[in-house]
Amino acid sequence: MSNTTYTLIQGKIPLLISMPHNGEEIPDDIKAKMTETGLSVQDTDWYMDKLYDFAIELGAYILMPKYSRYVIDLNRDPTGINLYPGSDTTELCPTTSFESKPLYLPEQLPDEAENERRVKLYWQPYHQAIASTLDSLQQQFGKAVMLEAHSIASVVPRFFDGQLPDFNFGTNNGVSCASELVDAVEAVDYSPYSQVTNGRFKGGYITRQYADLERNIHTLQLELSQRTYLNEDTLTYNEQEANLVKPKLALLVDAMAKFAVNK
């Protein structure tokens, strides 16, 4: 299933994998206002679809946007509220890169009306797809589980000190999913990779918004360090490194799938 802004691959089990920062395209009207940094879409969660391609055969639903997070960040509150009060973060419609470089030419920043237009055109359809898919899975199976699949550069001084752990799980400090799911995820052997739960990343807007334990809807975010599969200096896929980390991702998804289908 797809529309002009996203693709939803239908699955067979009550597990949805959302990849809200996987999109790379920018509409022409927005391109015309952007700097070279903006056009580079360098803060994309690169190759999420390639890293998780095994999940299709497993029967998971996969949701991916067409457009870049530089158009609008699908993992932000549409009101623009900062999910990490007191910490630096990029906006709903970002104006700077993770390196604090301007994304727009002078006098071309999106105003409030433009932000609202992008919410309607790009943000709302993706979130409607999440809501309707989770609701359908919950009604069909009695349970729905969502993995928010993200990746990020291993070093981003703007947001955190030093180098990130490799696997960064977020459950909104244990609020977004059952403890049994957390236990299953943490029981996976991620070695030689490092792993942390609710460290710098506790789950973004999507993880927090769609969790509903009373209805048996569970959400969990993974921020995967891009050094595990990317040549970070060139933003190119490192086949050798990716082939090492993908089995760990497969174990993670398998653990979540078993939780999802377990009555």
Tokens matching residue 57:
């055969």
CA distance 14 to 222: 18
Domain contains 228 = yes
* pLDDT given at position 221: 98
Q: Is the pLDDT of residue 1 over 60?
A: no
* pLDDT given at position 90: 79
CA distance 55 to 17: 9
Confidence of residue 7 (pLDDT cuts 50, 70, 90): very high
pTM summary value? 0.95
Q: Convert the pLDDT of each residue in 9-51 to its tens digit.
A: 999 999 999 999 999 999 999 999 999 999 999 999 999 999 9
Domain contains 29 = yes
The 8-class DSSP code of residue 163 comes to: P
* pLDDT given at position 246: 98
Domain contains 227 = yes
Domain CATH for 75: 3.40.630.40
- Distance between alpha carbon 105 and the CA centroid of its chain, in Å? 27
Domain contains 77 = yes
* pLDDT given at position 92: 94
Q: Is the pLDDT of residue 121 over 90?
A: yes
Calculate what percentage of the chain has a pLDDT beyond 70.
Answer: 96
Q: Are 67 and 25 in contact (CB under 8 A)?
A: yes
Tokens matching residue 108:
């071309």
Higher-pLDDT residue of 225, 3: 225
Q: Convert the pLDDT of each residue in 189-198 to its tens digit.
A: 999 999 999 9
**Structural domain containing residue 201:** 6-261
Q: Convert the pLDDT of each residue in 151-181 to its tens digit.
A: 999 998 888 889 999 999 999 999 999 999 9
**Mean pLDDT, residues 225-251 taken together:** 97
The 8-class DSSP code of residue 120 comes to: I
Confidence of residue 2 (pLDDT cuts 50, 70, 90): low
Q: Convert the pLDDT of each residue in 66-83 to its tens digit.
A: 999 999 999 999 987 766
Q: Is the pLDDT of residue 107 over 80?
A: yes
Domain contains 1 = no
Q: Is the pLDDT of residue 263 over 80?
A: no
* pLDDT given at position 87: 66
Residue 46 exposed, middle or buried by CB count within 10 Å (0-12, 13-18, 19+): buried
Q: Is the pLDDT of residue 97 over 60?
A: yes
Residue 112 backbone phi and psi in degrees, to 5 = -60, -40
Element (H, E) at 221: strand 217-225
Q: How many domains does the chain have?
A: 1
Across all residues in the chain, what is the average pLDDT? 95
